[in-house]
Chains A and B, each alone.
Chain A
Amino acid sequence: MRTTRKKAAIGLTSAMAAMLLLSACGSNGGNNGNTAADNSASGNGGAEPVELNWYTIGTPQKDVDKVMDAVSAYTKDKIGATVKMTMIDWGDYNQKLQVLTASGADMDIMFTAAWAFDYVQNARKGAFAPIDDLLKQYGKGITDTLDPAFLEGSKVDGKNYGIPAYKELPTAEVWRFNKTLLDENKLSITGIKTLESLEPLLKTVKQNNPDVTPLQVDKNYTPYIPYDYLIEKFPLAVKLGDTGYKVVNVFDTPEMKQALNTMHKYYQAGYIPTEAATLESSSDVQATGKWFADKATTQPFADNVWSTSYGYPIVSTPMSDALIYNSSVMGSMQAISANSKHKEKAMEFLNLLNTDPVLRNMVDSGIEGTHYKKTDGDYMENLPESKNYDMPTFALGNIMLTYLNPGDPADKWAQFKTYNAAGKPAALLGFNFDPTKVSSEIAAVQNAKEAFWAPLMTGTVDPVKYLPQAIKKMNDAGLGKILTEAQTQLDAWKATQGK
């Protein structure tokens, strides 16, 4: 009796164990399944067209295959290659690409950036093919049109590994305001620049509109300070304009201390959402329009874009200079996989994508007459079908080739170019910190940092009490060692740059 029961139990439990394991492996299994889409085209440049596997970021669209068929028909004639695009959703992109790369999947072209499937790190880990020679041979169109600052700024250890999309070059932070509330309270944004200068406005709004959040802040918020960060959201930075290139812990700087004190003052005054430190995004409150001011990154005509997408008027005023950071140069890139069997064809395709308006607009807006229609000149209008092919324009190469939307000024791209020309390089443009030697310390400091970062940045906790704790905890975890290593690398880089 007892033994039969035991056998049954073992059977049951092993079935359960199997289920657990199965669910744990589920996501990885799915990835491998995707990569099995084998491309059988062999050889290079022969009569047989080559199929290029293109992995890019964005919510998968229903009509991708349909549009890619049209794209393939076009590229087959032009360069003898067809294209298969795999879209991976925003939130999954990092992880899936990491698995695909580590497992040596068959990819030719993939999207990379400073913020998604980290360009510099993965270039160093060997995920991308160096493209300097390919660029010379097959990428003439790119080098001719693209602002040289992009290719120069996106070099990793002296080599290029990706084609940056031609788009706005400098990054500038702005204060955005809900114009309806500005007008209602007869407030003016002239003279607003610093965090402190916002105070009277926030106070008025708090008094007159109690149901509105005066300063909308979520957990991703960091106050603007004139420093250039070495790693995104990591407390090491160099002060802008510091010719000595001294790496500091931002929490030790007077600017950050002041900003955090002000944030805490605002928090206590009720200007900031109570749960800002755990708020994932501000999209809810943006949808309702019940906010007055927030911080954002701008580009030419940004006010129009924001107003259209939110459905109510937005105005903005700059809080920082327009500077070219590493992150702005590497905001959107296409790289060629180190494992690609068709590197030359991939480069030819990227060259065409970045120079040929027909191809670029097909990839961006779909098939003419189905997804969009041309109106006058370079203007286009989306047709209802475009909901099945809604792509992130900035992530697919040169945006200056794309057709204009209704309401865009005719000289839109000329203005982009003027804006780009006015941008000044930030302190660390071209320097990429290599964390390999200190990766254990970085992992430990990350944990120490994450515990304090959002609560401090959003003003939720009192910096007088928590800032010393945060600094101590990060130093104990090895921040000093990372700082020293960063300084060594930076000094070496400085020497080669002749600065």
Chain B
Amino acid sequence: MKALGRFFKDINRNKALLLMVLPATVWFIFFSYLPMLGTIISFKEYRVHGGFLSSIIHSKWVGFDNFKFLFSTDDAYIITRNTLLYNIVFILIGLVLAVAMAIVLSEIANKRLAKWYQTGMFMPYFLSWVIVGYFVYSFLSFDRGMINKIAASFGMDATQWYSEPKYWPFIIVIVFLWKSLGYNSVVYLAAILGIDKSLYEAAMIDGANKWQQIRNITLPMLAPLMTILTLLAIGRIFYADFGLFYQVTRDSGTLYGVTNVIDTYVYRGLKTTGEIGMSTAAGLYQSFVGFVLVITSNYIVRKFNKDNALF
């Protein structure tokens, strides 16, 4: 009873703050927590039977059968490896480049020019992967691609880019960074602009040069944001960007060894049978691994620095 009283008192005291988180809470309940009940489909053979709920209830339980297709062949190793390695590379290089770019942008004296660069880098983020796929194609097309044309003018042989797996790990990383770098660096740039200017002034009085200022003020101030964004990225490490691996590679069969990831595997495998249970199973598997990884990495971060951890 006493606890309950304290609870209402707490609510009363924080009502302004609680009111502010209300929209997000409602949003999360409807779009994140409520749909979680749907994961039950991954253990069922989903068949239509009236409305959605009655379909779920009437569908047959199949245990873990829906998960089998993910692990039944050698492809299980390939898709897991590709998904994980690409995402690790994206996270690491993405972090370094985004922070570096943010610092460079913040140091440009001509603010108008800085805005230009910033917008220019930001734009690709808004393009859909289909469009990006055609951009890449205009570079890599065999007959009409820019790269082959340039190679020809130097007397080099044309390359069949879309059937040479060895180039694709690089192409994919470059295309991903080109598209996402602008957005991430803007996030860091906003944080840099928020750093108290007096810190830099004090450093300058003490005779610190630009490099020392960056190393001793900017980077430590950015560390919490970097950790949090990285932790969140780790949570999605088992999700691959479908558009990147499907559209940009033009779904070329010869490249599957280096471009097949969990999401494309699921799409290719299920597009003929359209088993909702199996695609839900794949999603649940991805979320589960992501969840475990976030908890683990958050635990590790806590060990080092409690303030930087997510929770």
Contacts and interface: CB of A to CB of B under 8 A. Distances in A.
Interface of A: 1-3, 5-6, 8-10, 12-14, 16-18, 21-22, 25, 98, 101-104, 118, 121, 125-127, 219, 231-232, 234, 274-275, 277-278, 280, 338-339, 435-436, 439-444, 446-448, 450-455, 460-461, 476-478
A453 B72 CA distance: 21
A48 B162 CA distance: 60
B98 to A, nearest CB: 13
9 contacts: A1-B196, A6-B307, A13-B228, A102-B276, A275-B141, A435-B273, A444-B73, A451-B260, A461-B163
Nearest to A460: B163
Contacts of A8: 191, 194
A191 B265 CA distance: 44
Interface in B46-81: 46-52, 54-55, 65, 68-69, 72-75
Given A277-B163, A436-B45, A443 B273 contact: yes
A16 B187 contact: yes
B189 to A, nearest CB: 12
B51 A339 contact: yes
A127 B272 contact: no
Contact of B50 (A2, A104, A219, A435): A104
B265 A275 contact: no
A14 B24 contact: yes
Given A3-B307, A440-B65, A478-B72, A121 B273 contact: yes
B162 A275 contact: yes
A10 B228 contact: yes
Contacts of A125: 46-48
Contacts, number: 161
B169 interface: no
A476 B73 contact: yes
B268 A446 contact: yes
Contacts of A440: 65, 68-69, 72, 278
A357 to B, nearest CB: 35
A447 B268 contact: yes
B253 A452 contact: yes
A368 to B, nearest CB: 39
Interface string B203-242: 0000000000000000001001100110010000000000
Contacts of B229: 13
B27 A121 contact: no
B31 interface: yes
B48 A338 contact: yes
A447 B260 contact: yes
B138 interface: no
Given A21-B31, A444-B72, A446-B272, A2 B307 contact: yes
Interface string B147-170: 000000000000010110000000
A275 B148 CA distance: 14
A451 B254 contact: yes
Contact of B163 (A439, A444, A455): A455
A4 to B, nearest CB: 10
A436 B276 CA distance: 12
B271 A446 contact: yes
B268 A454 contact: no
A213 B27 CA distance: 55
Given A21-B31, A104-B50, A477-B72, A446 B253 contact: no
Nearest to B55: A104
Given A6-B307, A17-B232, A448 B73 contact: yes
Given A21-B32, A104-B55, A440-B65, A277 B252 contact: yes
Given A102-B276, A277-B163, A9 B74 contact: no
B176 interface: no
Tell me what chain A mostly uses at the interface: helix, strand, loop, or mixed: helix
A450 B268 contact: yes
A416 B123 CA distance: 54
B69 A104 contact: no
B224 A9 contact: yes
Contacts of A278: 162, 250-252
The SS class assigned to the B binding surface is helix
Contacts of A103: 51-52
Nearest to B231: A13
A126 B51 CA distance: 12
A439 B225 contact: no
A79 B254 CA distance: 56
A118 B274 contact: yes
Nearest to B251: A278
B90 interface: no
B139 interface: no
Contacts of A12: 187, 190, 225
B269 interface: yes
B270 interface: yes
A18 B48 contact: no
Interface centre among B48, B225, B228, B266 (most CB of A within 10 A): B48
A10 to B, nearest CB: 7
Contacts of B194: 5, 8
B142 interface: yes
Contacts of B256: 447, 450-451
Contacts of B162: 275, 277-278
B224 A2 contact: yes
Contacts of A460: 163, 254
A232 B271 CA distance: 12
Contact of B274 (A121, A441, A448): A121
A16 B180 CA distance: 14
A127 to B, nearest CB: 5
Contacts of A461: 163, 254
B48 A126 contact: yes
B272 A234 contact: yes
| Most chain B CB atoms below 10 A, which of A13, A435, A436, A439 | A439
Contacts of B143: 274-275
Contact of B224 (A5, A16, A277, A454): A5
Nearest to B196: A1
Contacts of A17: 232
A190 to B, nearest CB: 33
- Which of A5, A121, A440, A451 has the most chain B CB atoms inside 10 A of its CB? A440
Q: Which of A101, A126, A219, A441 has the most chain B CB atoms inside 10 A of its CB?
A: A126
Given A101-B48, A444-B73, A9 B191 contact: yes
B217 to A, nearest CB: 12
Contact of A5 (B51, B221, B251, B260): B221
Contacts of B69: 439-441, 443-444
A285 to B, nearest CB: 12
A235 to B, nearest CB: 12
Contacts of B52: 102-104
A339 B273 contact: no
A-B residue pairs, 9 tightest by C-beta: A443-B269, A104-B51, A443-B69, A440-B69, A126-B48, A278-B250, A451-B256, A440-B68, A451-B253
A231 B232 contact: no
Given A443-B69, A446-B272, A461-B163, 14 more contacts: A16-B187, A102-B276, A104-B54, A118-B274, A121-B273, A278-B250, A435-B272, A435-B273, A443-B270, A444-B75, A446-B271, A447-B256, A447-B268, A448-B75
